[in-house]
């Protein structure tokens, strides 16, 4: 993991471990486990992207050349694929620090203040995503219980789309918590550095 520059702004994406922080054992295990999960979700989303592109081409060819009619089947399938492509990479984007970032409030703060702002943002993001995941779970269970279907040429189960939404927000929540743990470690380091610097200044006086 890349080291953060104490003099630079702490980005609202996934933070880096400060160069004076040693990653704890549980953070290392979490990092390794999440990397494997992220790779799996990214692979699934990539496969969905390929299916979407090939399906689009096949649909155009069938309608134009073969005059075949797909009564809403591909449109519904494409909606499911879009949901999967978007939702499954939410946590991956958080891990890669590729979400939209706003640094107006944090870039003028001192290092410890920037880390504190980051901790607050990550915890707030975790609460929001966990809340969405909770309601997505309720809707998922309900759709499984009722066996709701989306009508098309071949009826598709509604629970599939809700499962994708649930998995996406759970992954995002976990990555927010991981970022929060790193930000907290950085706060502790900056506090120790500040205390050491203050002690050195008093000694020199």
What percent of the chain is modeled with pLDDT above 70?
66
| 26 vs 33 pLDDT, higher one | 33
Give tens-digit pLDDT for 106-148: 666 676 777 788 888 899 999 999 999 999 999 999 999 998 8
Predicted local confidence at residue 7, as pLDDT? 38
Residues 84, 50: contact at Cβ < 8 Å? no
For residue 179, is pLDDT > 80?
A: yes
pLDDT at 54 over 90: no
As a whole number of Å, the CA-based R_g of the chain is: 23
In this predicted structure, what is the pLDDT of residue 22? 45
Contact 169, 136 (CB under 8 A): yes
Q: Are 92 and 38 in contact (CB under 8 A)?
A: yes
User: Does 18 have pLDDT greater than 80?
Assistant: no
Contact assessment for residue 6 and residue 111, using Cβ atoms and an 8 Å cutoff:
yes
Cα dihedral across residues 37, 117, 108, 110: positive or negative: negative
Whether residue 85 contacts residue 48, with contact meaning beta carbons closer than 8 Å, is answered with yes
Encode pLDDT of 160-176 as tens digits: 889 999 999 999 999 99
What's the whole-model pTM score? 0.70
Task: Give 58-81 pLDDT, tens digit per residue.
Answer: 777 777 777 666 555 566 678 888
Mean model confidence pLDDT for the chain: 76
Higher pLDDT, 185 or 132: 132
Q: Would you say 148 and 158 are in contact if contact means Cβ atoms under 8 Å apart?
A: yes
- CA–CA gap between residue 75 and residue 80 (Å, rounded): 9
Confidence bin at 185 (pLDDT 50/70/90): confident
CA atoms within 13 A on the CB side of 193: 14
pLDDT at 27: 67
Give 183 or 24, the one with higher predicted confidence: 183
Beta strands in the chain (DSSP E): 149-150, 156-157
181-200 as b/e, with b when 16 or more CB fall inside 10 Å? bbbbbbbebbeeeeeeeeee
pLDDT value, residue 126: 94
Residue 112 confidence (pLDDT): 72
């Amino acid at each position: 993991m890349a080291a953060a520059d104490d003099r630079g702004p702490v980005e609202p994406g996934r933070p880096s471990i400060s160069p004076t922080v040693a990653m704890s054992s549980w953070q290392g295990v979490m990092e390794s486990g999440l990397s494997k999960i992220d790779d799996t979700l990214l692979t699934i989303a990539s496969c969905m992207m390929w299916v979407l592109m090939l399906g689009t081409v096949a649909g155009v060819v069938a309608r134009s050349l073969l005059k075949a009619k797909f009564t809403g089947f591909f449109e519904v399938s494409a909606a499911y694929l879009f949901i999967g492509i978007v939702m499954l990479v939410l946590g991956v984007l958080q891990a890669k620090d590729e979400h939209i970032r706003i640094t107006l409030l944090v870039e003028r703060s001192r290092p410890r203040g920037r880390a504190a702002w980051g901790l607050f943002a990550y915890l707030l993001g975790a609460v929001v995503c966990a809340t969405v995941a909770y309601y997505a779970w309720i809707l998922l269970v309900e759709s499984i219980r009722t066996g709701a279907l989306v009508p098309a040429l071949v009826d598709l189960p509604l629970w599939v789309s809700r499962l994708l939404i649930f998995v996406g927000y759970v992954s995002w929540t976990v990555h927010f918590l991981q970022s929060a743990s790193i930000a907290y470690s950085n706060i502790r380091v900056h506090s120790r550095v500040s205390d050491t610097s203050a002690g050195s200044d008093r000694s020199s006086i």
